[in-house]
Amino acid sequence: MTPLLEVRGVSKRFGGLLAVSDVSFTLNQGEILGLIGPNGAGKTTLFNVVNGVYKSDQGSITFSGRDIAGMSPHKIVHLGLARTHQIVQPLNEMTVLDNVTVGACFGREYLGLSAARAVAREVLEQVGMGSRTKVLARSLTIAGKKRLEVARALAAKPALLLLDEVLAGLNPTEVAQMIELVRSIRDRGVSIFMIEHLMQAVMNLSDRIVVLNFGQKLAEGRPEDVARDPQVVEAYLGDPDIAEKLMEKN
């Protein structure tokens, strides 16, 4: 099987800071790949490099067989790679429906306005916001805005969805709902690459996990193996028994 996303030797430098250093990994079709690591490890920077917000200084990024390194973000969306933001970026003075319509209009299918509206309604129904279409995005709660981020990205009909901490800041009920949503997205055939700090969620959702520390890849593998890796425990998890604890609750 050819990987959907292949990142090889990617580095990104900001002045004297090497934010991402020689990172390589692959993401397979239909997979949920988790990305974890301490604050400042370069996770979001890696996302920004993958979806074209930053240009990588080195390395290659291949998505569905095409080299996307250095491509601008809007072109990468057209190829079917959408993302959400860690710090939500709603189009405040526009309605929820219009926010999602933008995603559908300018996404992979580059739909016309009325077709995009229909897709937007469908997606909003799917993420459980079907009753809030006419509300201004500004007036949503943080959980609503996170859902909106996901809906907007989904409306682009991506093959791969990058989720940047969609669980952060949500209460336990909202977390459970969001986890369900992420699962349902994957069940519809969308591959997912997600940054997450909530260990229990990421351990249970992910098929595999990549660990970053100081911009470098520390480990990669199945969740239980990664959680037992002594380097990962030392750099990030802190508790050598965490793997057992997290898996138990599943």
Which residues here bind other proteins, judged by CB under 8 A?
A: 51, 53, 72-74, 77-78, 83, 85, 89-94, 98, 101-103, 105-107, 110, 112-113, 116, 134, 152, 156
The residue (of 110 and 231) whose beta carbon lies closer to other proteins is 110
The residue (of 78 and 183) whose beta carbon lies closer to other proteins is 78
The residue (of 1 and 113) whose beta carbon lies closer to other proteins is 113
The runs of H, that is alpha helices, within the chain are 43-50, 73-78, 96-105, 113-126, 142-155, 172-187, 199-205, 223-228, 230-232, 242-249
d(CA 72, CA 39): 26
Shortest distance in whole angstroms from residue 123 CB to other proteins:
13
Shortest distance in whole angstroms from residue 99 CB to other proteins:
8
Contact criterion met (CB below 8 Å) for 242 and 248: no
The residue (of 72 and 141) whose beta carbon lies closer to other proteins is 72
Instruction: Single out the residue of 147, 98, 108 nearest to residue 126, CA to CA.
Output: 147
Phi-psi region at 184: left, alpha or beta (left = phi > 0; alpha = psi -120 to 50): alpha
Give the amino acid at 165: E
Shortest distance in whole angstroms from residue 45 CB to other proteins:
15
Shortest distance in whole angstroms from residue 202 CB to other proteins:
23
